[in-house]
Each structure stands twice: as structure tokens, then as C-alpha cells.
Structure 1
Amino acid sequence: MKHQPINGQHHVSMLTKDAKQNLWFYTEVLGLRLVKKTVNQDDPSMYHLFYGNRNGAPGTEVSFFEMPNAGQTRKGTNSISSFSLLVPNDEALSYWASRLDSFEVPHEAIVSIGERKSLTFYDRDELTVHLVSAEKDNGIELVEPWITEDIPPKYVIVGLGPVELTVREASRTKAVLEDILGYTQVRTVPSMGDSKVMVDIYETGKGGLYTELQVKEVNDKDRERPGKGSIHHVAIRVKDVEELTEWAAKITAAGFENTGVIDRYYFHSLYFRDPNHILFEIATDGPGFEIDETFDALGENLTLPSFLEERREEIESKLHPIR
């Protein structure tokens, strides 16, 4: 059976030590919209915050689990080492360098890798994030962004870009990308985080920055020890539950342990790890975040999936206000 291709990034999920500070940074500094304030469905005692464009469309979402006791991340291999946010043009990177300076956010200089320019910065949890210009990328699908009062519309963040996987044995992750998930290697370039190290670029579907996974082999370091600012998983997109069920069968047939299809209320998901311990989620595009809130009210209140609603009082009693 021929599977429909993966459609690129769906979201990336990270760990934060402080949800209130995280909310300030991603909305006030980066200008993203809080599109869902909910809880970790597997541990409702912790917040799960989603940020994105106007309606949190797949391909624009970044999410954070709050873990107040999270320690320092010990960087290492077999990890999702960084992710990217896209801006429309090269000029935007100069704007963002100045804006980050104004908020005293640490960042690197703007760099050029081939025709692509990027700017690396570090959030309050020391998470590594790249701002990548989509000016030279023909595969980009510019979404309708969230417009705020203080960021010029021509410079706003427009979605998720490349995600970097740092692994000990690249061939094992590449086999999953190519043979299981249907990605294609398109080129090899210097890493945005370290130009002395090369990364292999993989794309899927229509190609372009929205679909790009970067595989970097590092075999002289210990495995990463997760903590604040570490990336928990990368989610990639399929259209609907029917397609996801087909992917579940393929992944199971290939011998990978997986969760099977899980109803996450805002989308359906499947999780599995590759041989380098990278956690992949395959997630459906819908039903989306407006299933339980109107567009104008997205992110304003604590929302719970229906199966947790009867525990609302208990859950809310364990959460602290974040705004």
C-alpha cells in the first residue's frame, strides 16, 4: 500500500521550568499567540502550553510542558538538539537581532549557509532556537501569522522550520526517515549551530523549510540528559485518522514499538522511538484548537479534554496562575 506522504512539521514539544516566564517570552518577545492553555494529558498536574499563528495551524505550533523541578540539560547526542522558526525574509533577521538585544536575549551573529541566512538565540530555559529566513525557499507556504502591535507584519514569525536531530549512529535514523517515513535526502550542509559539523538535510511531501529534518552525527559525546530547555519530541503531519491508522500499521510491521493511535482531543497521535532514541509523534491536522474555544478566545482559559473535565476542580487546584 502506498502511503500519503508526511506533510512536514506539525509541532515541536519542549520542557520549561517556569510556565509564566515561558508565556511572557514566546508571546511578548517572539510575538506568537498562546492558542491553547491546557495540561499534559498523561500528567494533568503540569501545564501544556501551545503557541502558534492566528489559530495554531499545524506547522506553526511549539508547545511546552512545565516541569518546575527540571534540572539543567546536559547536552549530548541522541537528542532533538534544536528547532527553527521561520521569518519571511533576510531583512527580518536584522530586525530580530536588534529586538533580541532590547530584551537582553543572548544570540549569535547572523550567518549564511549557502543562500540561507539564520540567527541563533537562546530562550529563558537556554533552549537553542534558530530564526531562519524563508526568502530563498521556494517550498515555503507562508501562513497567516499572528499580528501584534509592536512587531512589523513584514518581520513576524510565520511557522516552524528545520528541526535538528543529533545522533550517535546517523545511518539508523536515516533508515527510519527514508525507509519508514518516506523522507528524501536532498543535500549536506554545515550545521546552523556549528559550521564545522555537517548535517544531512531530509525533506518530504512538497519539500521546503516546513518539511526539513536535519541529521547530525556526533559519536564522541554521551547521550543527552534532558532538563529545562530540552526538546521532548518532534511531531510530523498527516491529514486525518485514516492516514494515521495506515502509518500505525506500517510502523508496527517494521518492528517498531509504538503507542498506536491516541486521541489527543485537538488531534490524534501516534508515538514511537527510532533506534537512536529520537521520539517521533505522527499527528493529524485536525480537529484543531477551536474544538473547545472560539477563535477570539483561544488560549484565554484553561481547557481540558472531555475525559479530564470531571477532574477540573482537582486539576486547577494544583496549577498556579500564569497571567
Structure 2
Amino acid sequence: MENKILGIHHITAIAGDAKRNFDFYSKILGLRFIKKTVNFDDPKTYHFYFGDEVGSAGTILTFFPWGEQIQQGRKGSGMATEIGYSVPKGSLDFWQNRFEQYNVIYNKPAEKFGEKYLTFLDPDGLKLELIESKTNDNRKPWETEEVKSNVATMGFHNITLTLKNIKATAEILTEIFGYKLTDQDVNRYRYRTDEVEEAAIVDLVELADEKKGHVAGGTVHHVAFRVKNDESLIYFRNRIEAYGLEITPQIDRQYFHSLYFREPGGVLFEIATDNPGFMIDETLENLGKELKLPLKYESKRKEIEETLVQIN
């Protein structure tokens, strides 16, 4: 099989209060809570996963909720600054009313690249967008009692990176990841892969005088790109290393296998596999119901459970 980058796998951000984060994304936004686990490097902190029914690549938003003591981050250059979700056409009125109901900060709808979108902030200040894609999004959304399929998020539409200069980052996207420049509007450049229909877009915004961002509460920690399997993962590791960038060895993240590297503009990129998936330790019906621990922490379960706040 040919080795390809298959769009966005997941996006990971930093939050403060765990229960507030859980409530916002599972109740107000209506995402499925698919995995409750802990940070591999800090087991006394949660790692939450939200997505569609099965946790499909291209729908997975994850959080490190580090508590109210976490410093507030600052959006700026060298980081991912906007997360775009695809929603059905005609659904933005529903979302405006819902954001009014729950006192969510948002801007009135606008348009870019021929697509209507609504910008809003989560409780930690993370910037997100709901976008009425001009192409048909045939993914099956997760439904809740309040957020039905005719308005629900379908998964990622795009991720936006803010950079002082886009040239080197664009080269990674085009020369290694196989993306193509498809649109430009002033200082926003849109890159897309043809390998997948959805979660296929990376926007690069060039702001030469923008102050460097600070990754902390309310910001994106890293962006993960998808590959099919371990063979493809190692293929891209070799390519990135040959390009002259430092990249980690393969790391087992329980539900996927990963590599990490910092692209030339400063954004932390991950490459993650489809395998083994989120149902290796829970059934489809029970996704997100129980605290799942990496094997190395299982012997400390009682101690870990006592330190974590109750969320559901």
C-alpha cells in the first residue's frame, strides 16, 4: 500500500477545570465522550477524548484538563490558533441560539473561501469555528437529545496555523505530506490533501509581526496527522529525518502509535496511526464510561482515582 498522509487524525488542546471541559464539549457542543484516561506523562491529570460515535480519525478532539491553576495561554505565531468543525448547511442559526442560551462567547457569522462560518470560544478561551462546508460532508454525526443530526458537528473541517512566514511550513505540507495550495485570501493560504474527503484542510495565516504564542490553557497543544498503519508511520519518520528535522521514535499511545516533531514554523506536529483504535479496551456502547489507564499505571489505580475529580 502506498504511504499517504490521510488528513487530520486528532487535535489536542489544554483546558483548565475538567468537569467544565467535559460539560461544554459533551453537553453544549454535543460531541461523544469516547475515552476517559490519563496523561501518559502525568497520570494524576485526565486526558479526555471527544469525537463521533466510534472515534473516527478526523473527529477526535482531545484535552489535557490541568486544573484551574494552569496559566492562560496566548494565541500568536508558531501555533495552531483555530479549530474548524464541519456542520450542515443552515445550522448556524441553531448554534447562535444555543450559544446565547448557554452564554457562550461568539461572533456573528462571516464568510471565507465561499463558506459561511461562526466563531466561538470554549470556557478556557480556545477558538473554534463551525463551518458550513461547500462540499458535501457525508460523515455520520453523533446525536444527543438537544443536538440532532441536522445541526450536529460532523468532524473537523480544517485547522489554522498562524506563522511569521509560511514558506518552510508550506514546504512540509506539500513536499512531505502531499498537500496542495488550493486557495488564497490576502494572508490566508489554504492547503488540502486529495487523499481524503474530510478533515483534509490546513490553513496557514502569515503575520510577520505577530508575537510568538504561548501554549497553555485555552490553546492547541499539537495537531496530529493520520496514517493508515505502522509501516506508513516509519516511512514518514524516515522522510522527516532525512529532511533534517528532529523526530521522536515511535511511541505507543494505547489507541494509536505516534511520532512527534516540531515543524519549522514552531507548531508541534504528530503523525498517528489508525491502529489499534478506541475499542481495544471498551465496547462501542461503553466508550467513555470508565476510567481507562495505561498498563504501567494500573497498579496505582486506587491512588490515581482518588486524585481525579468526578466528572460524570
Q: TM-score, normalising length from structure 1?
A: 0.92
Cα drift, residue 208 of structure 1 = 4.8
Which segments of structure 1 move beyond 6 Å, counting only runs of 4 or more?
Answer: none
Q: Contact 1:16 / 1:67 at 8 angstroms: preserved in 2?
A: yes
Aligned mates of 2:259, 2:48 — CA distance in 1: 20
8 Å CA contact 1:5, 1:205 repeated in 2: no
Say if 1:187 and 1:11 are closer, same or farther in 2 by CA, change over 3 A: same
In structure 2, the partner of 1:193 is none
Residue equivalent to 1:194: none
1:156 maps to 2:152? yes
Cα distance between partner residues in 2 of 1:304 and 1:57: 21
How far 1:258 sits from its partner (Å)? 0.9
Q: What's the CA shift for 1:207? A: 5.5
Matching residue within 299, 307, 310 for 1:318: 307
Structure 2 CA distance for aligned equivalents of residues 203 and 67 of structure 1: 33
Q: State whether structure 2 residue 273 is matched by structure 1 residue 274.
A: no
Q: Distance in 2 between matches of 1:281 and 1:145?
A: 25
The one-letter amino acid paired with 1:83 is I
In 1, are the aligned partners of 2:165 and 2:265 still within 8 Å (CA)? yes
| 1:184 match | 180
Paired letter, 1:283? A
Does the 8 A contact of 1:27 with 1:33 survive in 2? Answer: yes
Residue identity in the other structure for 2:242: A
SS in 2 for 1:244: helix
Show the 5 A alignment for 1:80-99: 80-89=80-89, 91-99=90-98
1:294 to 283, 290, 304: 283
Say what the alpha-carbon RMSD is for the aligned residues: 1.5
- For the 8 Å contact 2:86–2:131, the answer to whether it is kept is yes
Superposed CA deviations along residues 9-65 of structure 1, whole A, max 9, x for unmatched, are 111100000110000000110000100000111221211000001111111110000
Using structure 2 for the length normalisation, give the TM-score: 0.95
The letter of the residue matching 2:157 is G
Instruction: Give the aligned partner of residue 192 of structure 1.
Output: none
Q: How many positions carry a matched residue from both structures?
A: 311
**Which amino acid is 2:53 matched to?**
R
Q: Secondary structure at the match of 2:199?
A: helix
Name 2:46's counterpart in structure 1: 47
Query: Residue in 1 aligned with 2:29?
Result: 30
- Secondary structure at the aligned position of 1:250 is classed as helix
In structure 2, which of residues 218, 222, 235 is the aligned counterpart of residue 233 of structure 1?
A: 222
Q: Which letter maps to 2:235?
A: E
1:255 maps to 2:244: yes
Amino acid at match of 2:156: L
Identity in percent: 39
Q: Give distance in 2, aligned partners of 1:295 and 1:209.
A: 23
Q: CA deviation at 1:318?
A: 2.2
Residue 137, structure 1, aligned to residue 132, structure 2: no
> CA separation of 1:114/1:171 partners in 2, compared to 1, >3 Å: closer, same or farther?
closer
Going from structure 1 to structure 2, the CA distance change for 1:207 and 1:293 (only over 3 Å counts) comes to closer
Q: Is the 8 A contact 1:137 1:209 kept in 2?
A: no
The 5 A counterparts of 1:158-177 are 158-177=154-173
Between the aligned partners of 2:205 and 2:114, the Cα distance in structure 1 is 20
Offset of 1:144 from its aligned partner? 2.1
Q: What CA deviation, in whole Å up to 9, does each residue of 1:164-200 have, x standing for no partner?
A: 00011211111111122221111113xxxxxxx5310
3-state SS in 2 of match to 1:201: strand
Is the 8 Å Cα contact of residues 107 and 121 (structure 1) preserved in structure 2?
yes
Aligned equivalent of 1:224: 213
Q: Which residue of 1 aligns with 2:58?
A: 59
Question: Residues 67-92 of structure 1: CA distance to partner in whole angstroms, max 9, x if unpaired?
Answer: 12211222221111111111121x11
By how many angstroms is 1:153 displaced?
1.8
SS at match of 1:165: strand
Segments of 5+ residues of structure 1 without an aligned counterpart are 190-196
Q: Is 1:102 matched with 2:101?
A: yes
- Residues 240 and 270 of structure 1: is their aligned pair in 2 closer, same or farther, counting only changes over 3 Å? same
